[in-house]
Structure 1
Amino acid sequence: MVTEALAALAAAGGGAIVQAAGSDAWEGIRTRVAQLLGREPQSEQAVLERLDHTRTALEQAAENTTGTRTGALEQAVVRQETVWQTRLEDFLDSLDDTERQEAAAQLQTLLDWAAEQRAQNGTAPTAGTVIMNATVSGHGRAYQAARDMTVHEK
Structure 2
Amino acid sequence: MLDETLIALAGAAGTAVATAAGTDVWASVRERLAGILGRGGGEDAEHALARSDRTVAALGGAEGADGERRRRLEGVWQERFESLLEPLAADDRIEVASQLRELIALTQSAGGVTAGDGGISIGGNVDIRADGGSVSAVRMGTVNIGNPPHPGVE
TM over 0.5: yes
Are the equivalent residues in 2 in contact too, given 1:34–1:47 (CA < 8 A)?
A: yes
Are the equivalent residues in 2 in contact too, given 1:19–1:126 (CA < 8 A)?
A: no
Q: Which one-letter code corresponds to 2:52 in the other structure?
A: L
Residues 5 and 46 of structure 1, relative CA distance in 2, 3 Å threshold:
same
Instruction: Give, in whole Å, the separation in 2 of the partners of 1:61 and 1:105.
Output: 26
Question: Which structure is larger by alpha-carbon Rg, 1 or 2?
Answer: 2
Deviations 1:27-67 (CA, angstroms, capped at 9, x unpaired): 0001101101111210010011111111101007965xxxx
- Counterpart in the other structure of 1:117: 110
Residue 124 of structure 1: how far off its partner (Å): 2.0
Instruction: Give, in whole Å, the separation in 1 of the partners of 2:24 and 2:9.
Output: 23
Are the equivalent residues in 2 in contact too, given 1:32–1:110 (CA < 8 A)?
A: yes
Residues 6 and 23 of structure 1, relative CA distance in 2, 3 Å threshold:
same
Instruction: Give, in whole Å, the separation in 1 of the partners of 2:20 and 2:89.
Output: 29
TM-score normalized by the length of structure 1: 0.69
Instruction: Give, in whole Å, the separation in 2 of the partners of 1:50 and 1:6.
Output: 22
| Structure 2 unaligned regions, length at least 5 | 117-154
Q: Does 1:49 align with 2:38?
A: no
Alignment of 1:4-153 (within 5 A): 4-39=4-39, 40-59=41-60, 63=64, 73-118=66-111, 123-124=112-113
Residues 37 and 14 of structure 1, relative CA distance in 2, 3 Å threshold:
same
- Aligned CA RMSD, in angstroms, stands at 2.0
Deviations 1:47-99 (CA, angstroms, capped at 9, x unpaired): 11111111101007965xxxxx6xxx222111100000000011011211110
Are the equivalent residues in 1 in contact too, given 2:20–2:29 (CA < 8 A)?
A: yes
Identity of aligned residues (%): 37
TM-score normalized by the length of structure 2: 0.69
Instruction: Give, in whole Å, the separation in 2 of the partners of 1:85 and 1:126.
Output: 21
Task: Provide the secondary structure at the position in 2 that maps to 1:49.
Answer: helix
Aligned length: 115
